[in-house]
Each structure stands twice: as structure tokens, then as C-alpha cells.
């Protein structure tokens, strides 16, 4: 199929900072700084500045009205497998809890502590990397991609069973020691706070939560800074495709998860493209970082179930998408961004051009092509031209939603990033 530039027709998803590139300067800028380097190691030898004439303001582009999506498509996308599993698990537990609270299930009343603990243990199991990797390895089916629904359903149900346990203890306070009532209340408060902290609107803004970690190691890293918005972190040893890793400057605080780029398990290195972690890395590049040696699987880990597919991503989403296309010749890559080579540097673009031929590659540089693409148009062309079976999406929330809506409307099987509730 052809990957010639297409004229932008409709507004595409909003890009994050890394997607916008590094050459988009304010038209009021009055000076340009030129850096000259002595060799490939970029030893700084001279810094010079020259005056430039302010560029005229660009004319405003006409705003294209977004195509309205049917309520049925929006509903089917919202009520996905994650929420179906959550609803199933939570409903079963609430029916049981209601029967127990009304006194019609003596076993659950007597062993309500075990009911709470069982739910909480199962919730933790669903988020355990070892269990997740084993499950992907054994079944690698649709079920494996939505363990979060079972995790959330069991966790919330476990909290409510625990509340019932404490309430029953207070009902029978004459037979309970005061210390049991106090510690039961404290435990309830701690578990409820932990559950609240897992909601996306809390987790996405406050992730400095102390958690116990296993398999944590301090490892040496090399930091490449191709632009002020992106840091490329290089680790030793290769990885299989579609894994994600957590890294931190501390052994227990502020872990950030990023997609892993690797040419395969035989490779000498693997890489992470860091976005929201970049400022710290630029100001004070570390020699080592803390990471969990056991990585967890991303949605593209199921790519082996399909004969051919399309992997579409925007901006820093290339970090989660690229390894699938590097390690399999049956996947077509679409990467939408701005000034990717300067923003992401020679390491990432070099991996792409060495391993992915032009017949299965579409790099859309919105700066070079004069605007953002009609995303669904180029996606449909790639999907049908490549004779693909599925589309995997990695983008920001708006971009992911719009592409998922377009694929659903077009009848194209697609899987995107999940933002829980």
C-alpha cells in the first residue's frame, strides 16, 4: 500500500508535549542560539547567538466540527470487558453481602473476615506481575487483558466485607475486647484510604504511595537527551515484545511505568522513553535507577494471537508500541507526531529504519506534512492494505477515545489503553 502524504481533512487527537516536537517556537522569539560540537560525543566547543527577524503570526486554521458518534458506540466502548468483569464480581459479592447482612447466610456472618480476606487476596493476585505473566503465557486470550476488572471488583468487595466484619464486632461489643474494636476500625480506615488511592483521579496525580516491592534492583543506566521533552534510558539486556517496566530514583517511592523498546531477547540493550520523568533526568542525570526486574505485560503482548495487525501510536506512545513491530514482520507501524527525529533522537529512529521496511511503516510528521492527519483515513488504508486482523492503539486519553470510536464505527477490531473508571 502507498504511504504517500495525505492532505489533513479533520482534526486529529491532541498531542502531548513530546508529540509537538522541538522546533515549534514562539513567533515573538527574537534570538536563535546555535550550538556547535567538536565530535560525536558532543563536547561543547562554542556557543554563538544571532539575531533573527520575528516570524509573522500564522493564520488561524479553520476548525472542523468533530463527527458525532452514536450513543450505542459510546456505550459499548465504555462498558468494556474490564467493566463487565467488575460488574460481575461486584454484583455477586453485593448479593452475598446483602444476604449475610439480613441474617439469611449464617456462614458468611460467622466467617465474614475470611470473605473480606479472600476478596483482598484475589484482588492483589490479579495485579501481581508473576501471576499476570504466567496467565498471559498459558491462555493469552481476551480474558487475560482485563484482569483489572476482577482486581477492582474483588478489592472493593473485600473492603465492604471488612466493613461488615467491623460493624458486626461493634454489634457484639460486649463480647469483644476494646483493642479488637480499635484495631478493626484503624484497619478499615487504612484499607478504605488504600482503595480510594487506586481510583484514577487520585492515582494519576498522587502516585508517591509507599508500597512493598519484590524483585527491586538498582541497575546502571545510560541517559540520552535528544530534546528537552524526552529522555531515552538505556538498560542492559534484551526483552521480549510488549513489556512495561517501572523505574524510580528511589527504592520505594514514585515509581513510573514506561513501555520497553527492544529488538528481542538476544539484544544487548533495551530502552525506555520517559516523558513525565524527564525533568528530573535532564536536571540531574543519574548513573543508576531502581527498577523491578520482573516486567509486566502490556496489551500488545497478545499480538502473537493474530496473523497480521496495525500498531498505531502518537508521540511518546512509541515506547509501548515499537517493540512489537521490531520483533515481528507481520505488524504495520503508524507513528503520528511532530519532528520525531529531532524530538526522539537517532537511537529510536535508527531502530525503526533498521528493522521496519517502508512497506509496513507510516511516520506522520505533522510539522513536515503541514498538519495533523485524518487519523481514521490513514488507519483504514493501513488496515485493509496490510490485510490486518486487529489494531492496537497507544495514545493520550482523547486520541485513544477518538480512534476507538472510529474503529468501532468502521467495524475494525481494536484495543486501546485502559484508564479504569
Of 2-11, 253-262, 290-299, 349-358, the poorest mean pLDDT is in 2-11
Q: What is the pLDDT of residues 103-158, one digit of tens each?
A: 888 888 888 888 888 888 888 777 777 776 677 666 555 444 455 566 677 777 88
What φ, ψ does residue 219 adopt, rounded to 5°? -125, 150
Class of CATH domain 216-415: mainly beta
> Residue 259: which pLDDT band, with cuts at 50, 70 and 90?
very high
What one-character-per-residue DSSP string does 185-196 give? HHHHHHHHHHHH
In degrees, rounded to 5, the angle at the alpha carbon of residue 419 between the alpha carbons of residues 290 and 302 is: 75
What pLDDT score does 221 carry?
95
Residue 406 burial class via C-beta count within 10 angstroms: exposed 0-12, middle 13-18, buried 19 and up = buried
Using alpha carbons, select from 347, 352, 299 the residue that is nearest to residue 325: 352
Q: What's the mean per-residue pLDDT of the chain?
A: 77
Q: Which residues, 6+ apart, have CB-to-CB distance to 123 below 8 Å?
A: 150, 151, 152, 153, 154, 155, 158
User: Distance between CA atoms of 355 and 267, rounded to whole angstroms?
Assistant: 13
Averaged pLDDT, 2-19 = 42
- Domain ranges across the chain: 71-197, 216-415
Of 65-69, 343-347, 392-396, the poorest mean pLDDT is in 65-69
- In our burial notation (b when 16+ CB lie closer than 10 A, e otherwise), range 359-385 reads ebbbbbbbbeeeebbbbbebbbbbbee
> Residue 389: which pLDDT band, with cuts at 50, 70 and 90?
very high
Between 340-355 and 318-327, two packed helices, what is the crossing angle to 10 degrees? Answer: 20
The residue with greater pLDDT, 129 or 316, is 316
3-class DSSP state of 162? helix
What pLDDT score does 46 carry?
35
Does the pTM exceed 0.75? no
User: Distance between CA atoms of 408 and 251, rounded to whole angstroms?
Assistant: 42
Q: What is the pLDDT of residues 71-96, one digit of tens each?
A: 888 888 788 777 888 888 889 889 98
**Radius of gyration (C-alpha) of the chain in whole angstroms:** 25
Averaged pLDDT, 223-250 = 89
Q: Give, rounded to a whole angstrom, the gap between the first and last alpha carbons of the chain.
A: 38
Amino acid at each position: 500500500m502507498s504511504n504517500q502524504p495525505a492532505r489533513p481533512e479533520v482534526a486529529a487527537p491532541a498531542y502531548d508535549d513530546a508529540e509537538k516536537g522541538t522546533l515549534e517556537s514562539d513567533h515573538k522569539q527574537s534570538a536563535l542560539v546555535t550550538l556547535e560540537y567538536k565530535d560525536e560525543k558532543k563536547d561543547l566547543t562554542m556557543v554563538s547567538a544571532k539575531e533573527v527577524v520575528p516570524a509573522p503570526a500564522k493564520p488561524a486554521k479553520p476548525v472542523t466540527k468533530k463527527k458525532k458518534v452514536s450513543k450505542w458506540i459510546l456505550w459499548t466502548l465504555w462498558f468494556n470487558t474490564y467493566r463487565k468483569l467488575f460488574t460481575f464480581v461486584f454484583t455477586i459479592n453485593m448479593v452475598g453481602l446483602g444476604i449475610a447482612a439480613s441474617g439469611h447466610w449464617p456462614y458468611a456472618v460467622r466467617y465474614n473476615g475470611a470473605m473480606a480476606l479472600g476478596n483482598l487476596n484475589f484482588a492483589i493476585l490479579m495485579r501481581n506481575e508473576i501471576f499476570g505473566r504466567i496467565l498471559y503465557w498459558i491462555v493469552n486470550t481476551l480474558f487475560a487483558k482485563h484482569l483489572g476488572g476482577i482486581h477492582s471488583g474483588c478489592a472493593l468487595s473485600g473492603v465492604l466485607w471488612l466493613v461488615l466484619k467491623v460493624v458486626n464486632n461493634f454489634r457484639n461489643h460486649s463480647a469483644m475486647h476494646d483493642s479488637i474494636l480499635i484495631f478493626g476500625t484503624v484497619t478499615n480506615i487504612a484499607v478504605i484510604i488504600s482503595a480510594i488511592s487506586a481510583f484514577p483521579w487520585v492515582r494519576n496525580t498522587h502516585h508517591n504511595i509507599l508500597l512493598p516491592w519484590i524483585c527491586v534492583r538498582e541497575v546502571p543506566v545510560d541517559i540520552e537527551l535528544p530534546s528537552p521533552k524526552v529522555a531515552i534510558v538505556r538498560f542492559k539486556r534484551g526483552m521480549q515484545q510488549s513489556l512495561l517496566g517501572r523505574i524510580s530514583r528511589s527504592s520505594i517511592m514514585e515509581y513510573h511505568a514506561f513501555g520497553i523498546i527492544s529488538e528481542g531477547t538476544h539484544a544487548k540493550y533495551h530502552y525506555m522513553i520517559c516523558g513525565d520523568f524527564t525533568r528530573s533526568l535532564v536536571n540531574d542525570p543519574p548513573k543508576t535507577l531502581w527498577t523491578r526486574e520482573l516486567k509486566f505485560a502490556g496489551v500488545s503482548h497478545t499480538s502473537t494471537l493474530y496473523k497480521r495487525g496495525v500498531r498505531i501510536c502518537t508521540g511518546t506512545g512509541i515506547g509501548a508500541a515499537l517493540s512489537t513491530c521490531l520483533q515481528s514482520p507481520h505488524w504495520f507501524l503508524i507513528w503520528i507526531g511532530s519532528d520525531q527525529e529531532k524530538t526522539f533522537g537517532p537511537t529510536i529512529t535508527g531502530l525503526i529504519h533498521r528493522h521496519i521496511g517502508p512497506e509496513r511503516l507510516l511516520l506522520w510528521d505533522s510539522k513536515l506534512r503541514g498538519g495533523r492527519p485524518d487519523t481514521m483515513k490513514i488507519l483504514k488504508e493501513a488496515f485493509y492494505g496490510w490485510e490486518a486482523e486487529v489494531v492496537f492503539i497507544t495514545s493520550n486519553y482523547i486520541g485513544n477515545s477518538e480512534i476507538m470510536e472510529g474503529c468501532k464505527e468502521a467495524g475494525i477490531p481494536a484495543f486501546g489503553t485502559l484508564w479504569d473508571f
